[in-house]
Structure 1
Amino acid sequence: MTQRLPLSLTPLELTLVAILRGVEPVAPVDLPLAEALGCVAAGMPQLGAYPPHDVAATDGWALRASDLVGASSYSPLPLTASPVWVEPGDAIPEGCDCVLDADALDTVGPIGQVLAEGLPGQGVRCAGSDMAAGTSIVAEGMPVRTGDLLLARAAALETLSVRRPRLRVVNTPGGMTAAQLVVDLARAAGAEVTVADAVGRDAASIANALDVTACDLLLTVGGTGVGRKDAAVTALADRGEVLAHGIAMQPGRTAAIGKLRSVPVVALPGAPDQALAVWLALVRPVLDHLSVRASRKSVSLPLARKIASNVGMAEIALLGEEQGAWLPLAVGELSLRAIAHADAWLLVPGDSEGFAAGAPVDAYLMRE
């Protein structure tokens, strides 16, 4: 039987305005470095220079280059003082400015001899070469990446100040594939995620799982249809407020938004493609707002072929990168294969008929 739609569809732009109204960003928290990965940076301290002084970059003998002029295997240069052996990370001794390999010195006889010249800085990592004084690990509003953790550990930091929204996902029976997709996306976005399974598909069972005592954003997955299938929306209406049911977007048009106390709620359809579309168009902007994330960067490439769209419905298009162009993989109806292989996604606005082949479009990467 063909699924009926809500009597009216709310434009996507108005939906975003409605769900973000009155929602405040979450407060920064200090997290251990491993837990901060993927979270959005809050205030970051300015660091000192690293390394703080010249250190050896390789094993060898620490010497002064100006003392080695003319040295070669044919004309060894006697050493006037005992050389100092250093290993990577060791401080360069005062008065030295290069590190020579082990075989560049002959230490067998009573007087050591140098068999090669050296250049100032050879085998040396200079002070501040990895990190200049005043460096910030990551800009505020940007997600913490593995390279940022490398800098933090080098600076001997144990925690980072980040914003990590608490997200609760309520899964209705039969929607596990979509729910797990949402959970994976949320964790990759730096959210702290808890999952609750409704014991049944009825409104009462779902309502019992709608707990917002320890979350900043509540998601339900499944039960957003109309008639007998809108149990999640009914549960939200019983416990809180439904702001819109039926969004002018494809896929995901049976989604709903609301508030439970002051916590924003998004009810996602139970099909993976619809859940993904609602995540991209609605949930991710809410998470970005909660974490004060800087604007996401888009990648502009020409379209390999045209995208046609119906006016009045915003549509999600999945794209693959091919020979310097965006190749449309799916528009409006998203297969699992297209989801798995997509490099980027594009929102076709509701007032647009699409884009012509060759037109440059700004798309967001699926994996940032």
Structure 2
Amino acid sequence: MLHVSSIAEVNDLIAQRFGELSSGAEDVPLSQALGRALAADVTATEFVPNFNRSTVDGYAVIAADVFGCSESIPSLLTLAGESHMGQPLTIQLQKGQCVYVPTGAELPANADAMVMLENADDFHDGTIAIYKPAAPGANLIYRGDDVKPGQVVLPAGLRLTAADIGALAALGSTQVSVARAPRVAILSTGDELVAAGQTLQAGQIRDVNAPMLAAAVSAAGGIPDPRGILHDEQAVIQAAVDAAMDSCDMLLISGGTSVGVKDAIPAVISALGELLVHGVAAKPGKPTILGEIRGKPVFGLPGNPVAAYFMFHMLARPLLLRMQGAQTEDRHVSAPLARAVSSNHGREEFVPVALSEERVHPIASKSGLITTLAGADGFIRIPRDCEGLSRDELVEVTLFKR
């Protein structure tokens, strides 16, 4: 019989036993940094942009020179020159003058506004007529408006997006210090399992968990190390687990976690290390295991793919991110339930849902059908002391990333 712990209790235990685990840091080229967690704050050492630049095609002016001008009473300014893209500008604007500046080019000294080209006329005698006033700061970006020296641009622990890569490029970075990606070994157990490419025989099913967990590990910044399918023999499983621990930072085993005759995972973990938890007060996911071997976390996940997914998401994924110094990045929305949902008293329940017409639609499914998740937008959590939720009750949905 399983002696279950709550999700919160298991996460507290994970923090106590593995909270100091760190994957370390390494420098990688900027081209390989997407999705990696920053190992340290990125602090600017220069101004971005490094000069006052225009955001429009037009004329750089002193705002006071065009104050009150209009179509009927234009301001007439002397053209003092032209700014060119990618070239420094040495002109210092004087009262009554203007300079032509294309979008992105440098403004002359003393200029404090840009007038768009369509609001001006060139008389081709060195005189420019301005028909619309421009307030100080109009249509320009000042030096350092984006970034100033000493400013923390990106904080440690941030998982880098494409936009972050652009910010690093703007700072002149070619390499960045990121957390080393933890290596996660993945083992599937079960006499009935075959790999995805094989033809099914009577009584066989395809191994869903290994490719699903490998993708989930990659999405959390880890390096998946799938090690195949093992038969339900304790000696075989124990040898494979022992070998995997030499080269991984975390081990995920799916199947064989319950209390049946062939459920060997608890005995294997106990033989090689310490069994910390056997049973979680969650639905799906009750026969989940937490163990420690050689100071490394081992998660025994149920063979049921839906249960394996949720237990990875709730227990293994937060630890994997923490090992990289990164934060859990779940997004949530709140909306009313489209129908009532009953629940199994005594276990926290995870219910896949779809979002439609600003309502939350629980997805009914028999246990173990992975397509339940494939068609879901996210899930809701029903507390273990709650017997269900009512129609129109406001619920929080944890969104799946798409």
Question: TM-score if structure 1 supplies the norm length?
Answer: 0.80
> Which amino acid in 2 is paired with 1:309?
S
1:236-284 alpha-carbon deviations (Å, 9 max, x no partner): 3443333333433222223322111110100223332121121123212
- Give the distance between the partners of 2:300 and 2:294, measured in 1 at CA: 16
- Give the distance between the partners of 1:306 and 1:132, measured in 2 at CA: 53
- Give the distance between the partners of 1:36 and 1:282, measured in 2 at CA: 26
Which of 42, 45, 48 is 1:45 aligned to? 42
Please state how far the C-alpha of 1:131 moved relative to its aligned partner: 3.9
Q: 1:297 to 1:202 in 2, by over 3 A?
A: same
1:22 counterpart = 2:11: no
Match of residue 401 from structure 2? 367
Match of residue 287 from structure 1? 320
Q: Does structure 2 retain, via aligned residues, the 8 Å contact 1:217–1:265?
A: yes
Q: 1:361 to 1:134 in 2, by over 3 A?
A: farther
Match of residue 10 from structure 1? 4
1:99-158 alpha-carbon deviations (Å, 9 max, x no partner): 456674548x5x333143462444422233334665433444554333333322222233
Q: Does structure 1 retain, via aligned residues, the 8 Å contact 2:232–2:263?
A: no
Match of residue 95 from structure 2? none
Q: 1:317 to 1:75 in 2, by over 3 A?
A: closer
1:160-189 alpha-carbon deviations (Å, 9 max, x no partner): 444455132323353642221112122212
Match of residue 83 from structure 2? 84
- Give the distance between the partners of 1:140 and 1:331, measured in 2 at CA: 41
Please state how far the C-alpha of 1:322 moved relative to its aligned partner: 3.1
1:274 counterpart = 2:288: no
Match of residue 112 from structure 1? 126
1:262 counterpart = 2:295: yes
3-state SS, counterpart of residue 363 of structure 2 = strand
Q: Does structure 1 retain, via aligned residues, the 8 Å contact 2:147–2:153?
A: no
Structure 2: gaps spanning 5 or more residues: 85-100, 195-205
Q: Does structure 1 retain, via aligned residues, the 8 Å contact 2:42–2:154?
A: no
> Which amino acid in 2 is paired with 1:22?
R
Match of residue 109 from structure 2? 94
Q: Does structure 1 retain, via aligned residues, the 8 Å contact 2:335–2:395?
A: yes
Q: 1:238 to 1:34 in 2, by over 3 A?
A: farther
Which of 52, 55, 63 is 1:54 aligned to? 52
Structure 1: gaps spanning 5 or more residues: 1-6
Please state how far the C-alpha of 1:308 moved relative to its aligned partner: 1.5
Q: Does structure 1 retain, via aligned residues, the 8 Å contact 2:339–2:362?
A: yes
- Give the distance between the partners of 1:248 and 1:9, measured in 2 at CA: 9
- Give the distance between the partners of 1:286 and 1:333, measured in 2 at CA: 26
Q: Does structure 2 retain, via aligned residues, the 8 Å contact 1:240–1:261?
A: yes
> Which amino acid in 1 is paired with 2:107?
I
- Give the distance between the partners of 1:228 and 1:90, measured in 2 at CA: 75
Match of residue 4 from structure 1? none
- Alpha-carbon RMSD: 3.5
Please state how far the C-alpha of 1:36 moved relative to its aligned partner: 3.9
Q: 1:356 to 1:288 in 2, by over 3 A?
A: farther
1:252 counterpart = 2:285: yes
1:136 counterpart = 2:152: yes
Match of residue 217 from structure 2? 186
Q: 1:19 to 1:244 in 2, by over 3 A?
A: same
Q: Does structure 2 retain, via aligned residues, the 8 Å contact 1:137–1:148?
A: no
Q: Does structure 2 retain, via aligned residues, the 8 Å contact 1:41–1:143?
A: yes
- Give the distance between the partners of 1:80 and 1:90, measured in 2 at CA: 17
> Which amino acid in 2 is paired with 1:157?
S
- Give the distance between the partners of 2:105 and 2:155, measured in 1 at CA: 31
Q: 1:313 to 1:281 in 2, by over 3 A?
A: same
- Give the distance between the partners of 1:320 and 1:293, measured in 2 at CA: 28
Match of residue 141 from structure 2? 125
Identity of aligned residues (%): 26
